[in-house]
Chain A
Amino acid sequence: MALSPVLGTAPHRTGLHPLHALLLGFPVALFATGLAADIAYLDTAEMQWSNFAAWANAGALVFGGVVLAWSVLAAVRGRTRWLYPLLLAAMWVVGLVNAFQHSHDAWASVGTTGLILSILSTALAVVAGWIAYSPARAGDVR
């Protein structure tokens, strides 16, 4: 089998539609960005970090919402297992709660609650991404 020129491993087919894969990249990256910004805010009390986190979280919700809708449709049509949309749904709900949490003013915008929510949404996005980006099996999201 030929090696991938980039990663030096066997090319694997995820079975993901390329647009779906692109959209899914946003919540994975943006929830993680939000988490990093939250940690920076708790460390510095510099408001801009909390603002960054709020925008990153909002962006993750926008793209994550599209991915979620797509995955639900795919599951309804029997093209993916329900675990994937359920993970995305959990990620999105946690992110929404976190958006409200981050709308609180000043030091109340993050706190222990915000940090835990950011960790959860990041973890759920990573797990959902891990499943989606894993090598194709019959019936994956297309």
Chain B
Amino acid sequence: MTRPLAPVTLAPVTLALLLAACGSGAADIRQTGPDPVLPAQDRALVPPIKVAEPAGWNGATPTVPAGLTITPYATGFKVPRQMLVLPNGDLLVAEGKGGADAPTLRPKDLIADYIKSFAGNGVKGGDRVSLLRDADGDGRPELRTVLIDGLDAPYGLALVGGDLYVAEQGSLKRYGYTTGTTRIAGKGQEITKLPSKVNHHWTKSLAASADGSKLYVGIGSNSNVGERGLEVEEDRAVVWEIDRATGAHRTLASGIRNPTALAIEPRTGALWSVANERDELGARLVPDYLTQVRDGAFYGWPYSYYGRHVDPRVHPQRPDLVSRATVPDYALGSHVAALGLSFATNGGLGGAFAEGAFVGEHGSWNRQDLAGYKVGWVPFAGGRPAGQPRDLVTGFIADGKARGRPVGVTFDPARHVLFVADDLSNTVWRVAPAGRRGAAPASPTGG
């Protein structure tokens, strides 16, 4: 079960492992929105590594703007990642942690694994999908069950009619679902295998097309920038379009380094993704992004970033591919680690948060000044981003320590509620407009 997060004594953890040479300092530059400033590459001898030391919530909650409330919806998960709201209001939470098969290839892998071990909480992934039901709408679920057990690092979830789809780290599965079900036995039907060799970036994000005929799966790269050899990058850093009836797939878009969450923009029906860009080019490179996933587009990885900015770490280079690289639509900031995406519909959370996208940002490791560790809001108008992002849920960092790290976000349009999965405190947070029924603060159950 979950280990209490309270005072974790990890002295060496604020790994200010280094160096004056890297990280922050300079007056900050604008790296959000449609036209981010991209500074020159800064390849420090030692890459800046800083992960925030974990700390407990101790009854505190994250911070939301006036007019909204946030409460812990449930806790005690085993690494909650992505979520899905079912038509009857039940919330599904995929719990898991994959990528264990990625082999150590060089001394750096040993050291990086050791350092990153301080950022987690030691909880083993649940390999299951949990179900939470708040039938009376008081903001606290009365029923909690394990809907599906025995999975292999489940991540993406989607429902089309009576078919529930679960994207494990190596397989896309279908389960029969009827409204109100609280337990599904059986192994599910495999729609298609998903690329799983190495699985450095193991998360398989999932969304169904607006008409329900297609499924989209985001498949991350097997390396930062090709350092495991390009032969393990076949069918990686792509978004697959899968025919729901036959399981046949084609590559919808490529060069998209790690498409960690997919969602359908409600006005246009277009597919959008948040993607995590490459590391070790400097604290201000490369911005993670939010983009419409265009059919046939190549987003640059590994040869270039943000269009035609060539990455010299790849050899041989491919100017032919770089010349047709697509510029992503909207920058979210460098190293913020965007892992969650959900669009507001039906008026959203109201006020300034009526039309746009919620973005869960897990938080950085490759810069001295922490970035991300929040849920952001990207306003949209007419199905396109409109204006600079705003912070929606903050307070995950306090006194330099991480109390939580946001992953998936999912909006429930019928109840005007945003759920935020937090895989450090293993909590699902519930954000709702203040004053609505059920929005009264529940007593936090700890973290």
A residues adjacent to B (C-beta < 8 A): 45-48, 50-51, 54-55, 58, 97, 99-109
**9 A-B contact pairs sorted by A residue (CB < 8 Å):** A46-B229, A47-B228, A47-B229, A48-B229, A55-B106, A101-B45, A104-B43, A105-B313, A106-B313
- Which chain A residues lie closer than 8 Å to B316 at the CB level? 45
Q: Is B225 in contact with chain A by the CB < 8 A criterion? A: yes
Kindly report which residue of chain B lies nearest to residue A99, judged by CB atoms.
Answer: B107
Q: Which B residues between 184 and 218 are near A, CB-CB below 8 angstroms?
A: none
A30 to chain B, nearest CB (A): 13
CB distance from A40 to the nearest CB of B (A): 14
Residues on A with beta carbons closer than 8 Å to the beta carbon of B225: 105-106
Known: A45-B315, A100-B46. A105 touches B107 (CB 8 A): no
Excluding A45-B316, A55-B107, 8 further A-B contacts by CB distance (< 8 Å) are A51-B106, A54-B107, A54-B108, A100-B45, A103-B47, A104-B280, A107-B312, A108-B313
Query: Smallest CB–CB gap between A100 and chain B, Å?
Result: 5
B105 at the binding interface (Cβ < 8 Å):
yes
Complex: A51 Cα to B103 Cα, angstroms: 13
Contact across chains for B105 and A51 when beta carbons are under 8 A apart:
yes
Count, chain B residues at interface, CB 8 A:
23
The answer to whether A104 touches B313 (Cβ under 8 A) is: yes
CB of B227 within 8 A of CB of A106, answer yes
Contact assessment for B108 and A103 in the assembled complex, using a CB-CB cutoff below 8 Å: yes
The 3 A-B residue pairs whose C-beta atoms are closest, nearest first, are: A107-B315, A105-B227, A103-B108
- Interface status of B121 (Cβ within 8 A of chain A): no
- Check: B445 CB closer than 8 A to any chain A CB: no
Name the residue on B nearest A41 (C-beta): B315
Binary contact track B262-281/A, C-beta < 8 Å → 1, others 0: 00000000000000000010
- B223 proximity list for chain A (CB < 8 A): 105-106
Encoded as 1 (CB less than 8 Å from any A CB) or 0, chain B from 140 to 180 comes to 00000000000000000000000000000000000000000
B226 within 8 A of A: yes
Asked if B64 lies at the interface with its beta carbon under 8 angstroms from chain A, I say no
The distance in angstroms between the C-alpha atoms of A107 and B226, with both chains bound, is 9
A99–B106 CA distance with the chains assembled, in angstroms: 11
Interchain CA distance A51-B229 in the complex, whole Å: 11
Q: B107 and A58: CB pair below 8 A?
A: yes
Specify the chain B residue showing the minimal Cβ separation from A58.
B107
Given contacts A55-B106, A58-B107, contact A109 B229 (CB under 8 A): no
> Could you give, for residues 222-241 of chain B, a 1 whenever the CB lies within 8 Å of some chain A CB and a 0 otherwise?
01111111000000000000
**B314 interface residue (CB < 8 Å to A):** yes
Q: Indicate the member of B46, B227, B314 with the most A CB atoms within 10 Å.
A: B227
Q: A46-B229, A97-B45 are in contact. Are A105 and B280 (CB under 8 A)?
A: yes
Closest CB of chain B to A111's CB: distance in Å?
9
User: How many angstroms from the CA of A108 to the CA of B44 in the assembled complex?
Assistant: 11
Taking CB as reference atom, which chain A residue is nearest B226? A106
- Write the nearest CB–CB distance from A130 to chain B, whole angstroms: 28
Smallest CB separation, B424 vs chain A (Å): 27
Smallest Cβ-Cβ distance to B228: which chain A residue: A47
Q: Which residue of B lies closest to A108 (CB)?
A: B313
Q: How many angstroms from the CA of A46 to the CA of B316 in the assembled complex?
A: 11
Residues of B within 8 A of A47 (CB): 105, 227-229
B:330-366 near A, CB below 8 Å: none
Minimum distance in angstroms from A16 CB to a CB of chain B? 29
Nearest neighbor of B302 in chain A, beta-carbon distance: A106
CB proximity to A under 8 Å, residues B299-346: 302, 312-316
CB–CB A107/B229 < 8 A:
no
A107 CA / B314 CA spacing, docked (Å): 6
**Cα–Cα, bound, A115→B139 (Å):** 62
Given A105-B224, A106-B226, answer yes or no on A54-B314 (Cβ-Cβ < 8 Å): no
